[in-house]
Structure 1
Amino acid sequence: MPDAMPFDAHAPYLSTAAAPDRRSRAVAVWLLVVAAMVWAMVALGGATRLTGSGLSIMEWAPFRGTLPPMNEAEWNRLYDLYRTIPQYELVNRGFGLEGFKGIFWLEWAHRFWGRLIGLVFAGGLAWFWLRGAIPKGYGRRLVLLLVLGGLQGAVGWFMVASGFEADRTAVSPWRLVIHLGLALLLFAVLLSTALSLLRPRRDAPPEAAPLRPLAHATAGLVVLAMLAGGFVAGLRAGFDYNTFPLMDGRLVPEGYAALSPFGRNLVENIAAVQFNHRLLATLSGVAALVLAALALARLPQGAARRASLGFAGVVMLQYGLGVATLLNVVPVWLGTLHQGVAVAVLGGAIILLHSLRRPRPAIRE
């Protein structure tokens, strides 16, 4: 066998990866289905939070809780449990069993959907594994995803339990952000793994090289904006300062640094939390538009250019939804849509970074 040809720094980058086989495509489709389910789960979680339904089930029963109450006695037992927490006393006192059922069903659906995601992922993993269909090098990553999914269930209960503490009518913002962040991480890993199976070729054009740093920075900004949005949700900060672009007639709201030490303002001060979310969202929008302009000017037709333009489009859609949600004082349907489209923004960022991956030099034998 002759020696491999020396690498020429001036030669064009080539991809040596083969097209995905049928087995890899099947695994990728399964992962995309699970990613779509996680996407729906995040939107459903937003609706649960906005309607105040998340504290309606005071038990963590991973197996027994799969079925809803089947008789009046069980409904009354759960209602009696709910009446022991501050949310009932301070927000929903006297709304009766029918009112309780109204918030119960959304939280039950949220938990049931989470169980269904676990079943689809664990069942699919077992199926592909037993058939020897897991592509080489992906087994550990898929097992890690299974572990993270189980951890998400535990983190969800850890979040809910914080709402049972004295004088609380909602869950801890910190725990909410952890729960949201883990859901976004799961979605990102599922999508990126599926893309690596479907499009293993690193075929970004040479003109994409200058765009990579900006693309990574923009992706980082949108993730920070999403996590900042978690604190906005946790503090219900969207119900204040319902004007745009100014906040009570000021660019930076009065009282931005009211808490001491200063770091507390970033996670506990409604004025600061909302301003930070606005700022990060605006920076994300500007960066995405600059990236799109550079892509139009420098990139040839192809996946990288389409991904850049698509990403900018979904970022601006999310920005507009955020402004509309704020100006309308967070109606449930619009707030839920805003949270759902946030996942589309993350998906757009993952697709963009995948399309801009640096090609590896070909090795010829």
Structure 2
Amino acid sequence: MTTAPETSKAVSNWLIVVAIMVIAMILVGGATRLTDSGLSITEWRPVTGVVPPLTHEGWLDEFEKYRSSPEYQLQNAGMTLGEFEFIYWWEWGHRFLGRMIGLVFALPLFVFWVRGMIPAGMKPKLLGLLALGGLQGFVGWWMVASGLVDRVDVSQYRLAAHLSLAFVILGVTLWLALSARFGTAPGKTGRLTPLALAFWAAVMVQIALGAFVAGLDAGRIYTTWPGMEGRIIPDGYLAGLPWYQAIFESHAAVQMHHRWMGYLVGLFAFVVAFAFWRSSDRTLKGLSHAIAAMVVIQIALGIVTLVHAAPLSLSLIHQLGAVVLFLLAGSAAWRARRAA
């Protein structure tokens, strides 16, 4: 019986490719949401849906299906076929990329498994990651389905769940890629691990709050900084809703929470960076500078995006900044787990 290796550069490189594809998926998904393209395909066909319309009649058929949706009837009535094709291609590209990630993950996994190249103890983790990818497909359709009946946008709750799961998949992929390259952690946990994990979780919460902002188009209602039209707590914070509902459904509240959580994550980042800088671990010292710099850049990007009323280009750059900060936080957590 072949003994499983402790590390595998090939497996690590494969997982890095998967992670890059997941990042692309997150950005394409952001563009799909910001261009209001996500509801252009009204059916979920995991296999046959890979083929887009190939004839004029096929396009007319897809357009007719879209015309029966609330989004078309209440928001896009009178849209031309050319305009429909534009939003269709964004959603089709998003789904196609998801299918490609599945293939790029599953086929090499089978090859590495058969050839005995997967590092010891990693097989169940990789199977779990594969299951998360499959779950993401279901969550994506569950999200889209919420916008096909009685509303013109998807549910912000389901959007936040979909985006959060994408980042969970990215985080697990990153962790396994590092473990495959450098080996699993020793039994003893480094003293900075709880702090690093808490920071990673805080970044994740801020990303989820950003999903609520995107889901409600709340980034365009208050475009002044530092105040929200001169106020710390904006008018209409509760929007006539109970406080526990307003947290997730009031446009003003959702934007305010995302702003203030960003400031808190920024302060937390400097606490974490200082702790890492004082560490004897060279990698953590390097990551301390990267985290401090990136959180400043990300806050600045958020402010610029806000005051320009969240155009597509700035919004995607801001989302990419969130990805970079998330990866830095995850890398720091992985390293802290191993640092003395």
TM range (shorter): over 0.9
2:264 equivalent to 1:280: no
Q: Residue in 2 aligned with 1:261? A: 242
**Which of 10, 18, 21 is matched with 1:34 structurally?**
18
Equivalent positions of 1:53-92 (< 5 A) are: 53-92=37-76
Measure the CA separation in 2 of the matches of 1:306 and 1:21: 29
Q: Give the superposed CA RMSD.
A: 2.0
Q: TM-score, normalised by structure 1?
A: 0.87
Tell me: CA distance 1:130–1:212, structure 2 relative to 1, closer, same or farther (3 Å). Answer: closer
SS in 1 for 2:172: helix
Which gives a bigger RCO, structure 1 or 2 (Cα 8 Å, sep 6+)?
A: 1
Q: Residue in 2 aligned with 1:129? A: 113
Q: Once the two structures are superposed, what CA deviation does each residue of 1:304-361 show, in whole Å capped at 9, x if it has no partner? A: 111122122222222111111111101011111212221211111110111212558x
**Unmatched runs of 5 consecutive residues or more in structure 2:** none
What code does the residue aligned with 2:320 have? G
Measure the CA separation in 2 of the matches of 1:182 and 1:211: 26
Equivalent positions of 1:127-276 (< 5 A) are: 127-166=111-150, 168-200=151-183, 211-276=192-257
Measure the CA separation in 1 of the matches of 2:208 and 2:323: 12
Q: Once the two structures are superposed, what CA deviation does each residue of 1:23-64 show, in whole Å capped at 9, x if it has no partner? A: 611111111110110011001100000000111111111111
8 Å Cα contact 1:38/1:183 also seen in 2: yes
**Which of 295, 303, 315 is matched with 2:283 structurally?**
303
Measure the CA separation in 2 of the matches of 1:285 and 1:133: 41
Equivalent positions of 1:45-60 (< 5 A) are: 45-60=29-44
CA drift at 1:260: 3.7
Count the aligned residue pairs: 335
**Unmatched runs of 5 consecutive residues or more in structure 1:** 1-19, 361-365
Q: Once the two structures are superposed, what CA deviation does each residue of 1:125-163 show, in whole Å capped at 9, x if it has no partner? A: 111111121112111111111111011111111101111
Measure the CA separation in 2 of the matches of 1:139 and 1:240: 47
- Give the share of equivalent positions with the same residue, in percent: 44
Measure the CA separation in 1 of the matches of 2:31 and 2:161: 18
Measure the CA separation in 1 of the matches of 2:238 and 2:152: 25
Measure the CA separation in 1 of the matches of 2:266 and 2:184: 29
Instruction: Pick the structure with greater CA Rg.
Output: 1
8 Å Cα contact 1:307/1:355 also seen in 2: no
CA drift at 1:256: 2.1
